[in-house]
Amino acid sequence: MAKDKQHQLDIVTKPQFIDGSALKIPMLQILAEDGTIRKGAEQPEMDKELALKIFDTMQFIRILDERMIAAQRQGRISFYLSSLGEEAASIGSAAALSDQDMIMGQYREQGALAFRGFTVEQFMNQLFSNERDLGKGRQMPVHYGCAELNFMTIASPLATQIPQATGYAYGQKMDKSGNCTICYFGEGAASEGDFHAALNMAAVYKVPAIFFCRNNGYAISTPSQGEQYAGDGIAPRGVAYGMKTIRVDGNDVFAVYQATQLARKLAVEENEPVLIEGMSYRMAGHSTSDDPTGYRTREEENAWRAKDPVVRFQKWLQNQGWISEEEAQQNYDEKKAAVLAALKSAETVPVPHIDEIIEDVYDTPPKHLKKQLEALKAHIRKYPEAYPKTASRIDGGDK
């Protein structure tokens, strides 16, 4: 009869308390802030084509975020969440994956989606909730999803994607697909019960999942240090659950890329779930509804701007002779023009026809949904000035 592992513990005869606050996990950094490779670091293999694609995506996301924050301020869209300062975390990790791997994001992973091939037009259609939006206008802005690119639709409630990732990865294991699931979330979401349940289940059932925590310093206005946890961040939690764990500089695209490469190998070849904690900083507000000047200083922000992941990677590319400052600026200008053109086009596209609200769930919409839809139409007809875009598509509007 096999012995119970729980009974195979080391025995001591005097009380010994383990000081959890003493556990310190180091941070992997390969690319220094000045764009050079740190002494003793092993730079991951990355050819010119891949490096320029990563940088190209970083530039695009930086422009997209800046322009759409401005669009929200102008009243052209209702809401926006940016990933300013966190581009290396999502794009560097996505670059290390197979296109068949599933991505489950929170709401700062637009870089991973863009790297997969989501077009500027697709971004804009979702942000304006128009009839070309893949989600048929049913989601808030920045809640992207694309089945073709294996990117699970983003949900607003914090941490719901983490147990979903464990379950999806378990299915990949059962199917012997040779693929894994990467799940992104912030350190604030790691305070939710879903995080703990998901990591424990993933470790116990050994599923091919990569849990990527973007520790950007704040859960909206709550600072991570001193108010979110007493221990050494999120990484020690992976150790506690018996999971392979690594902490990286989330603003260093090489550290993120290499760690994710190794994590994917563990996940796919050995069915070992991995926790990656990427240390970064949210340079913008939590969302366009947030004013960060109320809870952090300009000096703190400027200290992190000096660690800008896009600037850091551009310096390395210039040192390699793979891009010049002039070429980088030209690429930036071209992308800015493309984003502005797509924005102007998308906001002229009609909203989805109101009848589509009750489609896609049942083959034939049931009576109670039809009744609710007619009640909604009657309400909009009564107050058309409050719903100008929708009202125009109720009576006689093309479907």
Cite the active site residues. Answer: 282, 286, 295
Which two structure tokens, joined as six digits, stand for 370? Answer: 């039809």
Which two structure tokens, joined as six digits, stand for 124? Answer: 């804009």
**Chain centre to alpha carbon of residue 124:** 18
Burial of 375 (0-12, 13-18, 19+ CB in 10 A): exposed
- CA distance between the termini of the chain: 68
Closest Cα to residue 82, out of 103, 55, 51, 110? 110
Q: To which residue do tokens 């109101």 refer?
A: 354
Q: Of all helices (H) and strands (E), which one includes residue 28?
A: strand 27-28
Please tell me what DSSP assigns to residue 305. H
Q: What single letter denotes the amino acid at residue 313?
A: F
**DSSP-derived 3-state class of residue 169:** helix
Exposure string over 50-62, b if 16+ CB within 10 A, otherwise e:
ebeebbbbbbbbb
Contacts 24+ apart (CB under 8 A), 383-390: 389/350, 389/351, 390/351, 390/354
CA–CA gap between residue 282 and residue 86 (Å, rounded): 7
Residues 6+ positions from 208 with CB-CB distance below 8 Å: 169, 172, 173, 179, 180, 181, 267, 268, 271, 272, 273
